[in-house]
Amino acid sequence: MENIRIEIAGREYPLSIQSSEVTNVKAAADKVSAQVEVFRKQFSVEDRIDLLAMTALQFATQTNANAPTDFSSNSGLNPHQSERANHVLERLNHVLDA
């Protein structure tokens, strides 16, 4: 495990991740921040939550329409990974439903 700090939309987040994931996580954070900035300029929105929700929606709609809505079975993930993936899905759905 490696402890890193990433910045997304001007806010810093501490993470503990596998060393093999560091490059991908940092690249994903940069991609999210870049899209937030595009939306901020395009729509003149300053609220960080709105910008992050718009970005989440943008990325979610770009994924396969048949993407799983539950990672509990047949996902190839171990139980801990399934639980984490489902938690992320719940949080994303909460933001999108707000």
Structure tokens at 28: 């994903």
Over residues 58-72, the mean pLDDT reads 66
Task: Compute the mean pLDDT over every residue in the chain, rounded to the nearest whole number.
Answer: 82
| Beta carbons of 53 and 95 less than 8 angstroms apart | yes
Over residues 68-95, the mean pLDDT reads 68
State residue 20's pLDDT score. 92
